[in-house]
Amino acid sequence: MISGYVIAYVYANRMSSFADFGRFVQRRIGRLVPLHWLTLVVSIAMWLAFLKLGLHFTHIPSFRPECIAVTAALLHAGISCEGGMFNGQSWTISAEMGMYLAFPLFSYLGWKSRNLPLLLGAAVLALILISMMTREALFPSEAWGDMQPYLRAAPSFIIGVGLWFSRGWLRSFPLAQPILVASLIALVSAMMTAAPGIVVLTLIYSTTIAAIAADLQRKSGPIVVTVAPLGQLTYSIYMWHGLFITVLMNGLGDKFLHARAGVMAPLALVTYALILGCSYISYLSIETPARRWVDRLPLFTRRAHDANPSSPELIRVPPP
């Protein structure tokens, strides 16, 4: 949802030609692919080391060349491989790229009628949930986590785009900040107590909508303003966290030390600190230089504001 909103905020009024779309995809590749490839290589090396050490795991990623190639090309949200994939959470990045490719369609609908993307996203979400609850043949799974990745990504991304086009009513959304705080607390509690999936999903939507509304109303609060710069590290944290947890907590803590809670708790804190430190270094030293290099490739005709990323046009938005 947040991705759909932010992508619409930046690009909805900058997609008027195939060259614009090409530049958009080029920028998305520059943002996602370098770190995806790096963590893929690190993940392969990590699992090779585990196997060399004779460690046994319930699930081992597939070393088949075609599976690695599919993962490297960010196609693994649509093409599955037996045995799983390396750096497993990267499937969401594949699904995200699929949403980027479809973004011009969602943006076009929004310019035709501001409410169309929101209605489309809500309709897709309702169809999926009804089909899951009734176990219809269209979506026979009863678990959201077993849903086809593109289907899981689509309703939230489209609703995020729709929220940007329909953002006028969010500016008058009542009690946005209190609802944000309450929803966030309830969401964390629901996730920690294994609440029903529909409850968690509802709280995710309410938290995100309230957060966007609070931001539009300039009522984000001092805590949000303080931690907001860390938002730039979310992709790094997401792509690195699984590797650190697998090595330090699953490998060292569980397999080698057979540690109990008294050891695992401080080990978890050390792991989280290392994830944050690595993500910071990764963002500054790897992701940013790689993204700038890819962005500068002369693949498509540049607009004036593309030549200068700090141009005011980068954040120019039409009135709601």
User: How many domains, in total, are found in the chain?
Assistant: 2
Let me know: does 51 contact 83? Beta carbons within 8 Å.
Answer: no
- Same domain flag for 182 and 230: no
Q: Please tell me whether residues 206 and 234 are part of one structural domain.
A: no
The number of CA neighbours under 13 Å toward the Cβ of 102 is 17
The predicted pLDDT at position 16 comes to 85
What range does the domain containing 206 cover? 174-216
On whether residue 37 sits in a domain, the answer given is no
Q: Which of 53-62, 90-99, 130-139, 306-315 has the lowest mean pLDDT?
A: 306-315
- Chain-wide mean pLDDT for the chain? 87
Residue 306 is predicted with a pLDDT of 57
In a domain, 252, yes or no: yes
Residue 243, domain member (yes or no): yes
DSSP code at position 254: I
The span from the CA of 139 to the CA of 120, in Å, is 18
Q: Does residue 22 belong to any structural domain of this protein? A: no
pLDDT one-digit tens code per residue, 74-91:
998 888 877 678 888 898
Q: Of 216, 238, 272, which residue constitutes the final position of a domain?
A: 216
pLDDT at 318: 39
Domain assignment present for 16: no
**pLDDT tens for residues 193-209?**
988 888 898 999 999 99
Is the CB of residue 172 less than 8 Å from the CB of residue 216? no
Answer yes or no: is 89 within a domain: no
Q: Does the pLDDT value for residue 314 go beyond 60?
A: no
**pLDDT tens, position by position, 166-224:** 998 899 889 999 999 999 999 999 999 988 888 898 999 999 999 999 999 988 778 88
Residue 316 has pLDDT above 70, yes or no: no
Domain boundary among 216, 238, 273: 216
pLDDT, tens digit, for every residue of 244-299? Answer: 998 999 888 988 888 888 889 999 999 999 999 999 999 999 999 999 999 999 98
**Residue 102: predicted pLDDT:** 95
Q: Does residue 179 form part of some domain?
A: yes
The residue from 216, 242, 270 where one domain ends is: 216
Based on the fold, state whether residues 277 and 240 are members of the same structural domain. yes
Q: Mean per-residue pLDDT for 53-62?
A: 79
Question: Is 230 in the same domain as 286?
Answer: yes
Residue 64, number of CB atoms within 10 A of its CB = 12
